[in-house]
């Protein structure tokens, strides 16, 4: 495991102020224990704010090699058990896509996991492709969607010709990658000149983030960047996109799922939460609530990336 001190992803600044001290005190431990829905423990490394542009981020953070290893080997049975809830989320996301692109065309889902969104899009008539770093995830996606196209690998490894897709989605992806700008540059090249990008990320300026503070449930080791509507819009413009608008995102979970997530945090209630999460009755209690995330729509800017002045 390696931790790397990195510059700001938006303005390349190197001066930061501490927002929240780390809750992980075993930096020599295995990082994968803190990743995914099946994580054994929940916690985070130091959370800081860029003194130049205000981006909130993890710093230091797991380096690119560590992340590639963890995500490449990632297996997540709990993610699959949450299938019904995630299908509701996929339907919500597809409704957002069709609000801007009503006619089905070619769509790429980056970070497709077990193919739930790909399946929903394909059923609606889209020519869908999924990409994920985890062989385990993609193997299940291929079973779920046997006629869809899937590729295993990181965005560093995968190639598509220019203008391959009318729509690309990055649902819960950008906060996990070492270089958000590089990710946006790559997917922009794969979009048609009239293409659209759809993404969801934690919103550091959300009501939930402000109310919960250091106990915000989206403060996780695997989340490297905590964008706000302003910082994300700045990054999108740098990469040649015109942001349309952000909207608050509501998640779908059963009460059992919520309790299982709470059991990942240290505390005297951990055992009780874990036991309650296995109760069949609580699996039938469905909840829809905000966790402090935002969905964002952006269109390709004709002519390519524009020069964006650095915030000073």
Strand residue runs (E) in the chain = 3-4, 16-20, 47-50, 56-58, 61-62, 106-110, 127-132, 149-152, 165-171, 191-202, 225-226, 241-254, 286-300
Local confidence band at 271 (pLDDT 50, 70, 90 cut-offs)? confident
Distances (CA, A) of 143 to 88, 113, 118, 152: 20, 12, 12, 14
Instruction: Give the dihedral of Cα atoms 195, 172, 151, 91; nearest 10 deg.
Output: -70
Distances (CA, A) of 230 to 33, 49, 55, 233, 295: 32, 14, 9, 5, 13
Q: What is the structure's pLDDT at 88?
A: 87
Tokens of 9: 């992803």
Tokens of 308: 């964006």
What CATH number does the domain located at 3-300 have?
3.40.50.150
Q: Do the strands 191-202 and 149-152 form a parallel or antiparallel pair, or are they unpaired?
A: unpaired
Q: What is the structure's pLDDT at 135?
A: 97
CB atoms within 10 A of CB 261: 18
How far apart are alpha carbons 171 and 295 in whole angstroms?
Answer: 8
pLDDT in tens, 135-172: 999 999 999 999 999 999 999 899 999 999 999 999 99
Local confidence band at 40 (pLDDT 50, 70, 90 cut-offs)? confident
Q: What is the structure's pLDDT at 77?
A: 84
User: Which of 205, 232, 213 lies closest to 298, judged by CA?
Assistant: 232
Q: What is the structure's pLDDT at 312?
A: 31
Does pLDDT of 258 surpass 70? no
The mean of the pLDDT values for the chain is 89
Question: Phi, psi at residue 293, to the nearest 5°?
Answer: -110, 165
Tokens of 36: 């995914």
Does pLDDT of 307 surpass 50? no
How far apart are alpha carbons 87 and 119 in whole angstroms?
Answer: 9
pLDDT-wise least confident of 236-240, 244-248, 305-309: 305-309
pLDDT in tens, 221-236: 999 999 999 999 999 9
Local confidence band at 5 (pLDDT 50, 70, 90 cut-offs)? very high
User: Which of 111, 24, 30, 11 lies closest to 60, judged by CA?
Assistant: 24
DSSP designation for 311: P
SS3 154: coil
How far apart are alpha carbons 70 and 79 in whole angstroms?
Answer: 16
How far apart are alpha carbons 149 and 89 in whole angstroms?
Answer: 21
* Mean pLDDT for the stretch of residues 62-72: 95
pLDDT-wise least confident of 24-28, 70-74, 129-133, 248-252: 24-28
pLDDT in tens, 69-93: 999 999 988 777 777 778 989 999 9
Q: What is the structure's pLDDT at 194?
A: 96
* Mean pLDDT for the stretch of residues 193-209: 97
Does pLDDT of 311 surpass 50? no
In this structure, are residues 57 and 50 in contact, taking their beta carbons and an 8 Å threshold?
yes
User: Which of 136, 131, 164 lies closest to 75, judged by CA?
Assistant: 136
How far apart are alpha carbons 152 and 228 in whole angstroms?
Answer: 30
Percentage of the chain beyond pLDDT 90 is 71
SS3 188: helix
How far apart are alpha carbons 295 and 281 in whole angstroms?
Answer: 31
- Report cis status (omega within 30 of 0) of the bond before 80: no
Question: Phi, psi at residue 68, to the nearest 5°?
Answer: -60, -40
Q: What is the structure's pLDDT at 310?
A: 37
pTM summary value = 0.89
């Amino acid at each position: 495991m390696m931790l790397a001190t990195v510059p700001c992803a938006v303005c390349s600044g190197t001066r930061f102020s501490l927002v929240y001290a780390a809750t992980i005190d075993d930096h020599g431990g295995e990082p994968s224990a803190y990743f995914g829905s099946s994580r054994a423990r929940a916690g985070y490394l130091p959370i800081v704010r860029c003194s130049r542009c205000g981006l909130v981020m993890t710093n230091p953070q797991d380096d690119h090699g560590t992340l590639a290893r963890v995500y490449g080997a990632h297996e997540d049975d709990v993610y699959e058990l949450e299938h019904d809830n995630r299908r509701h989320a996929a339907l919500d996301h597809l409704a957002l896509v069709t609000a801007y692109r009503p006619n089905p065309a070619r769509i790429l889902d980056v970070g497709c996991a077990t193919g739930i969104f790909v399946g929903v899009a394909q059923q609606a008539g889209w020519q869908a492709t999924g990409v994920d770093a985890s062989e385990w995830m993609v193997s299940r996606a291929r079973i779920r969607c046997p006629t869809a196209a899937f590729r295993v690998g990181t965005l560093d490894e995968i190639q598509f010709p220019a203008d391959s897709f009318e729509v690309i989605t990055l649902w819960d992806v950008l906060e996990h990658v070492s270089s958000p700008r590089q990710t946006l540059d790559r997917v922009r090249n794969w979009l048609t000149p009239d293409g659209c990008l759809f993404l969801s990320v934690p919103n550091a300026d959300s009501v939930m983030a402000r109310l919960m503070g250091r106990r915000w449930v989206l403060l996780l080791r695997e989340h490297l960047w905590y964008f706000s509507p302003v910082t994300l819009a700045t990054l999108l413009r740098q990469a040649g996109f015109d942001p349309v608008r952000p909207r608050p995102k509501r998640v779908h979970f059963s009460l059992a799922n919520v309790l299982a997530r709470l059991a990942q945090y240290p505390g005297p209630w951990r055992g009780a939460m874990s036991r309650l999460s296995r109760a069949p009755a609580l699996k039938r209690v469905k909840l829809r609530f905000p966790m402090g995330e935002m969905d964002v729509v952006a269109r390709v800017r004709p002519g390519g990336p524009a020069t964006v002045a650095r915030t000073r």
